[in-house]
């Protein structure tokens, strides 16, 4: 196993070559997990992981999870994930039609595995009825984070190439170096800053103005989330997803926009950005979703990738608190506890009570 740093991603990002999943031990995988948490973006090149085994390995980092299912379970007062899916698929159930169609769409994107559920196809390939078998079925994707406008967003993403990956790229922007580069006084201002989020059509991809994108990224408008948070690996940076960021608490729109323009000028620079143009189908990309943004460029015709969004609980010694501001730290403790208990995620390290 050879670890080399990715050129052009500042202090973060590594490639790992020579990983053989057939002979990989749990100990070696944990070591990779810890390297990943410190590097934000970890690209295991040309490996022999299959979509069948992806879930089992990622679960050793932490469980997959989707805010979408949590919100539906709360809305209908149902404590079984299986039951909410069955209600969504049943024509006669009392669930709202809009929610049924979201569940059906999500299930259509689901890649079955003997290890359970949690793998979502990302693809524009069509099934026999002419419907795409995956999420984000067309075009380039602009800078974004997944579940961007949710306090309890899933912090990690594992994207495995399937086929026709060459000709496209997955790109990353890490915000940690920028955060460290600003003056101490501006850093303190950023530390106190609270962002408001809204869904705006076309912010990820003008061709993808669907309900699923809104529900995944920004189910509720005007949610507030601090600008500066801590990644699962203990790195401070900006939670600044361009797909949903709308304004700054206490500022009018013009003031917010001019502040964003000033930040963008120094943040969206080559030094912090790396676009990984695939040279193989079998790359496994592990990336942080807390203080790192991602995008997609290039041609996606025939492309198929497998995505898991997940926690890092199995690699953490205790509860991960992303928020520094007391108001949000308290809110997060309450929200994530309810989230984890509702979904029944056993391995999650919840905060100590008291
Ligand atoms: Fe994404």
> pLDDT tens for residues 110-134?
998 888 889 999 999 999 999 999 9
| CA–CA gap between residue 190 and residue 179 (Å, rounded) | 9
| CA–CA gap between residue 167 and residue 132 (Å, rounded) | 20
pLDDT at res. 216? 82
pLDDT at res. 140? 87
Per CATH, which fold does 2-343 belong to? Double-stranded beta-helix (3.60.130)
Ligand 1: centre distance to CA 94 (Å): 32
Among 28-37, 134-143, 276-285, the minimum mean pLDDT is found in: 134-143
Is the pLDDT at 217 greater than 70, yes or no?
yes
Ligand 1: centre distance to CA 146 (Å): 5
Ligand 1: centre distance to CA 267 (Å): 19
Ligand 1: centre distance to CA 260 (Å): 22
Percent of the chain with pLDDT over 70: 98
Q: Which two tokens stand for residue 9?
A: 């991603």
Is the pLDDT at 171 greater than 90, yes or no?
yes
Is the pLDDT at 258 greater than 90, yes or no?
yes
Give this prediction's pTM.
0.96
Among 35-39, 115-119, 121-125, 230-234, the minimum mean pLDDT is found in: 115-119
pLDDT at res. 213? 77
pLDDT at res. 209? 58
Average pLDDT, the chain: 94
pLDDT at res. 189? 98
Ligand 1: centre distance to CA 145 (Å): 6
Which comes out higher in pLDDT, residue 77 or 353? 77
> Predicted confidence band at 288 (pLDDT cuts at 50, 70, 90)?
very high
In order, the DSSP letters of 25-92 are: -HHHHHHHHHHHHHHSEEEETT----HHHHHHHHHTT--B--HHHHHHHHHHT---HHHHHHHHH-TT
Could you give the maximum distance between any two Cα atoms of the chain, in Å? 60
Ligand 1: centre distance to CA 126 (Å): 20
Average pLDDT over residues 75-104: 92
Residues 6+ apart with CB under 8 A from 353: none
Is the pLDDT at 88 greater than 90, yes or no?
yes
pLDDT at res. 212? 75
| CA–CA gap between residue 311 and residue 257 (Å, rounded) | 32
Q: Which protein residues have their CB within 5 A of the ion that is ligand 1?
A: 146
pLDDT at res. 150? 96
Average pLDDT over residues 155-178: 98
Is the pLDDT at 10 greater than 90, yes or no?
yes
The three-state secondary structure class of 100 is helix
Ligand 1: centre distance to CA 183 (Å): 31
pLDDT at res. 215? 81
pLDDT at res. 354? 65
Q: Tokens 């869904």 sit at which residue?
A: 199
Ligand 1: centre distance to CA 105 (Å): 17
Q: What burial class does residue 312 get, using C-beta atoms within 10 Å of its C-beta: 0-12 exposed, 13-18 middle, 19+ buried? A: buried
Percent of the chain with pLDDT over 90: 85
Ligand 1: centre distance to CA 174 (Å): 14
Is the pLDDT at 256 greater than 80, yes or no?
yes
* C-alpha to C-alpha distances, 245 to 24, 54, 172, 181, 277, nearest whole angstrom: 40, 32, 18, 22, 27
The three-state secondary structure class of 342 is helix
Provide the pairing of β-strand 120-123 with 304-310: antiparallel
Neighbouring-strand partners of residue 297: 169
pLDDT at res. 259? 98
Which among 132, 136, 146, 135 is positioned nearest to 67, based on CA atoms?
A: 146
Residue boundaries of the structural domains of the chain: 2-343
pLDDT at res. 208? 65
> Predicted confidence band at 353 (pLDDT cuts at 50, 70, 90)?
confident
Ligand 1: centre distance to CA 92 (Å): 33
Q: What is the pLDDT of residues 196-210, one digit of tens each?
A: 999 888 777 766 656
Average pLDDT over residues 55-82: 94
């Amino acid at each position: 196993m050879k670890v080399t740093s990715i050129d052009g991603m500042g202090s973060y990002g590594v490639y790992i070559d020579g990983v053989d999943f057939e002979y990989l031990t749990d100990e070696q995988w944990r070591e990779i997990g810890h390297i990943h948490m410190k590097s934000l973006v970890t690209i295991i090149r040309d490996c022999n992981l299959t979509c069948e085994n992806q879930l089992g390995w990622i679960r050793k980092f932490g469980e997959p999870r989707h805010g979408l299912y949590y919100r539906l379970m709360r809305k209908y007062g149902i404590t079984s994930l299986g039951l909410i899916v069955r209600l969504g698929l049943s024509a006669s159930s009392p669930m709202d039609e809009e929610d049924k169609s979201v569940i059906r769409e999500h299930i259509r994107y689901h890649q079955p595995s003997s290890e359970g559920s949690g793998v979502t196809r990302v693809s524009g390939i069509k099934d026999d009825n002419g419907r795409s078998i995956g999420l984000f079925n067309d075009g380039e994707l602009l800078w974004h984070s997944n579940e961007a406008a949710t306090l309890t967003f899933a912090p990690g993403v594992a994207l495995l190439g399937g086929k026709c990956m060459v000709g496209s790229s997955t790109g990353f922007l890490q915000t940690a170096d920028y955060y460290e580069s600003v003056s101490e006084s501006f850093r303190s201002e950023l530390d106190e800053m609270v962002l408001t989020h809204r869904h705006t059509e076309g912010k990820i991809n003008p061709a993808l103005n669907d309900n699923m994108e809104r529900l995944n990224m920004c189910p509720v408008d005007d949610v507030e989330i601090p600008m500066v948070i801590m990644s699962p690996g203990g790195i401070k940076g900006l939670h600044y997803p361009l797909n949903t960021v709308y304004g700054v608490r206490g500022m009018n729109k013009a003031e917010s926009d001019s502040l964003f323009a000033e930040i963008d000028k120094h943040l969206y620079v080559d030094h912090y950005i790396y676009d990984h143009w695939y040279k193989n189908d079998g790359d496994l990309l592990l990336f942080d979703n807390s203080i790192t943004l991602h995008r997609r460029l290039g041609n996606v015709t025939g492309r198929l990738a497998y995505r898991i969004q997940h926690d890092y609980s199995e690699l953490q010694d205790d509860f991960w608190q992303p928020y520094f501001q007391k108001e949000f730290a308290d809110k997060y403790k309450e929200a994530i506890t309810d989230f984890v208990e509702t979904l029944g995620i056993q391995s999650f390290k919840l905060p100590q009570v008291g």
